[in-house]
Amino acid sequence: MILLEKLLSVEDFCNLTLIFPGEVKEYLSFNRAIDSSQQAEYEDFLNGVCASRLPPHLLRLKYNCPIMLLRNLNPIQGLCNGTRLICKELADNFIGAEIATGDFKGTYVFIPRIPIESSDRINCPIPFKRMQFPVRPCFAMTINKSQGQTLEFVGIYLKEPVFSHGQLYVALSRAKSGAGVKILIHPDSKSILCTDYTKNIVYGEVFLLAEENTISTSLLRKKLKLDYPFPLE
């Protein structure tokens, strides 16, 4: 699995992999503004919205291509947010797929189109719903999306350094062993000077807060021992 730092980098990578041989099936979404009076004015804008919890407006898939589920459809049958699947049937109104990992590996499922409301008010201040299959191609995924997953092999592609606390640790700890991790540092801008190393972003405030909590807990335990002369454990 390839891990990248940003969603747009993942989109670009997946578009490149779809160049490989095979017929492409394209699915267009329908985007509807919650306030119907904004529909005509912002329709083109809504079509271009790209957010981490939304499927793309133009979903391009191929037979046997990997996809990731973006919503909990049926957790009892293994269809949870983050589940990886392999496309086996690309119909107009449903996608037939096989679950690729976990306890339900090999299970054949059907994925319908569903309305998905955007909650990203930063990239899109206009509330709207997107009618689309709740999946996106999964030749690669963002580092944040990989949290909680254990993979055999991980390739970390850094076009630029990570941008948040703990992100590099998450990427490096996804594989079962260090031998299963490979890193490619390939800046796409001359302004990025690090070509053979990368930055590990750490928020010092986190450690200061942890230290303050430790001191407070220690003082509390000392007070309890003075008030109650019997063991606390």
Q: What is the pLDDT of residues 15-28, one digit of tens each?
A: 776 777 788 999 99
In this predicted structure, what is the pLDDT of residue 87? 95
What backbone torsions phi and psi does residue 3 show, to the nearest 5 degrees? -115, 135
Domain-wise residue ranges, the chain:
8-140, 144-185
Query: What pLDDT does 176 receive?
Result: 84
- At 11 the pLDDT is 74
What is the share, in percent, of the chain residues with pLDDT greater than 90?
26
Q: What are phi and psi of 54, to 5 degrees?
A: -115, 140
Q: What is the pLDDT of residue 199?
A: 77
The yes-or-no verdict on residue 231 having pLDDT over 50 is no
Residue 31 has pLDDT above 80, yes or no: yes
- Confidence (pTM): 0.70
pLDDT in tens, 219-228: 555 554 544 4
Q: What is the dihedral of CA 169, 170, 173, 176, to 10 degrees?
A: 180
Q: What's the mean pLDDT in 1-8?
A: 78
CB-based contact 116:55 (threshold 8 Å): yes
Taking the C-alpha atoms of residue 10 and residue 15, their distance in angstroms, rounded to an integer, is 9
Residue 129: which H helix or E strand, with range? strand 128-132
Q: Which band of pLDDT confidence, cut at 50, 70 and 90, is reported for residue 207? A: low
Of 36-40, 49-53, 193-197, highest mean pLDDT: 36-40
The pLDDT of residue 186 is above 80: no
Residues 6+ apart with CB under 8 A from 165: 201, 202, 203, 206
- Looking at residue 92, the DSSP 8-state letter turns out to be S
Residue 63 to residues 23, 102, 225, Cα–Cα distance (Å) = 8, 21, 66
Higher pLDDT, 109 or 173: 109
Instruction: Name the pairing type of β-strands 181-185 and 24-28.
Output: unpaired
pLDDT at residue 41 in the model = 84
Instruction: Give the pLDDT of residue 144.
Output: 82
- Radius of gyration, CA atoms only, the chain: 22
pLDDT for 229 equals 45
Q: How far apart are CA 36 and CA 128, in angstroms?
A: 9
Residue 233 has pLDDT above 80, yes or no: no
- Taking a C-beta distance cutoff of 8 angstroms, is the pair 135, 70 a contact? yes
Using alpha carbons, select from 104, 106, 56 the residue that is nearest to residue 86.
106
DSSP-assigned beta bridge partners for residue 25: 61
